[in-house]
Chain A
Amino acid sequence: MATTLCAKLLPKLVWTPLTQSVRHGSKAVTRHRKAVHILRQKLLAVTEYIPPSHAIPRGAYPDKNSQVQQDSGYVLLLKKSLKKLFEENKMIAVVQNSASSAEDMTLLKHRLFKHGITVKFIPNQVTRSFLKDSIYSNMAPLFIGPTVLFVSKEPKVNGMLSALRSSPQMTLLGACIDNKLLSVEGIINYSKLPSMTVVQGELVSGLTMLTSRTTLLLQHHPGHLCALLQQHIKQQSPETIAEGDSTAQEAK
């Protein structure tokens, strides 16, 4: 612009001045990212926006990010199978195995299968989320670390204990037998219990003991019975006389 003006004002000049001050500065809109001036940089740094921390007190509203995670299809399948397991099987034992080898596992599985016990591997997270919704929520603290489930329809505790004794690194933690949670001591006591028929027999014999004794008595000769009854009366009467004496003495 200046050069054109000069050209018009001094049209007769052939010689253009040596130094020509060009007064157009750098452009504002550039194709590259223009370097921000240090003063502007400082200003922007000082005037940055700092949002207020905790405008809403914590706990006043539920967390935005804590949406209930929907279970994937596989997890739902596992949960269904778990539910079936708990319904069908009377005994469910939880065992921790600190990395036994594959051979040991197959041997153990074989030994347990002979007693009708199957071995199940289920991820702990799935079992825990299943248990906290069901009635077996007290079992949940057992499922930490590498755990295996032993399930069987009939509670064959002796077989399980003998199989576990042979593998040293399997640790029995607890079991749910007939919907009752048992610890290790409880399991051992359960294994020492006699079978159901034996227990019923003992109960019946205990209840009928008195009646059987009376029948035995009645089956004796009647003369013998009379003598027994007379003896009984004699024994009764001195006791009453003795009681009368003691009460008389107390009254005195």
Chain B
Amino acid sequence: MFDVTVPETNMAASKKATVVLKAVKKIMVQFSPFESNVRSTREFLAIVGSEKARSTNMNCEVLTKVKHDKSEPIVDVTFSDGERLLMKGANLTGREMLSAFQSRCIAKDPQAQAAKKK
């Protein structure tokens, strides 16, 4: 009999997969699906556009533009305090984009989170 241990990285990824969009006003995702460098952007969209993520903030809009002009895949996030985050997903992995986005979200909204934890 051998024990099967679940790798911790997967568990960490699945736990953090729920994205909190409290401090976000608008997310615009733009890509051209026939290019080969859009995988990370599409993964990001799949996680951010899910029902769970959108239920954390119903005012946040998630816009998707599908283009065909061989342009780079871009994610443009507008936060509620006016700051903009522009991520060019051509050479980034989905996880990097997600971690960058989440770290900024958590930094923007620490008070509400701390209040919740208490």
Interface residues in chain A, defined as those with a beta carbon under 8 Å from any beta carbon in chain B: 96, 98-101, 138, 141-142, 144-146, 168-169, 171-174, 183-186
Contacts and interface: CB of A to CB of B under 8 A. Distances in A.
B52 A174 contact: no
A246 to B, nearest CB: 51
B38 A99 contact: no
B24 interface: no
A169 B49 contact: yes
Contact of A141 (B35, B62, B64): B35
B97 interface: no
Interface residues of B, number: 22
Interface stretch (B4-12, B39-47, B83-91, B107-115): B39-47
Contacts of B42: 96, 144-145
Specify which of B33, B34, B67 lies most central, judged by the most chain A CB atoms within 10 Å of its CB: B33
B48 A98 contact: yes
Contact of A174 (B33, B39, B48, B49): B33
Given A96-B42, A141-B34, A101 B64 contact: no
Contacts of B36: 141
Specify which of A142, A169, A185, A186 lies most central, judged by the most chain B CB atoms within 10 Å of its CB: A169
Contacts of B54: 169
Interface string B55-74: 00000001010111000000
A142 B50 CA distance: 19
A61 B61 CA distance: 54
B66 A144 contact: no
B34 A146 contact: no
B68 A98 contact: no
A96 B45 contact: yes
Given A171-B66, A172-B66, A185-B68, A144 B38 contact: yes
Contact of A171 (B45, B50, B68): B45
